[in-house]
């Protein structure tokens, strides 16, 4: 009564999935602004009026992931990697 065949090959796939989640979340975080603060759903930028040359704030709706979103994604990757530790490797099954 051994383990089902999919269980014996699950470990490397879970580790690959963890690496993809970690790398993908880092790429998305860096690509969308590399914000080291909290996640923002709107960004305020200062613009200059061409006629009066006065600066004024303009609020733009834009998603900028922060370190909290990055931490959640990396925790998910760590969870998937941790789940891979629950499965036996194929070398342990042959002995």
Q: What is the mean pLDDT of residues 15-33?
A: 95
Mean pLDDT of 24-37: 93
pLDDT higher than 80, residue 93: no
Q: What is the CA radius of gyration of the chain?
A: 22
Q: Answer whether residue 29 shows pLDDT above 70.
A: yes
- Segments in 32-89 forming alpha helices (H): 67-84
Residue 87's pLDDT band, with cuts at 50, 70 and 90, is: confident
Report in angstroms the alpha-carbon separations of 76 from 13, 23, 37, 81: 15, 12, 20, 9
């Amino acid at each position: 009564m051994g383990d089902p065949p999919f269980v014996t090959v699950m470990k490397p796939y879970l580790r690959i999935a963890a690496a993809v989640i970690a790398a993908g979340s880092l790429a998305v975080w860096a690509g969308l602004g590399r914000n080291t603060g909290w996640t923002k759903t709107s960004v305020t930028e200062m613009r200059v009026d061409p006629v009066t040359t006065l600066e004024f704030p303009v609020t733009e709706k834009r998603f900028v992931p922060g370190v909290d979103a990055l931490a959640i994604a990396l925790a998910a990757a760590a969870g998937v990697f941790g789940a891979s530790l629950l499965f036996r490797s194929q070398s342990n099954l042959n002995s």
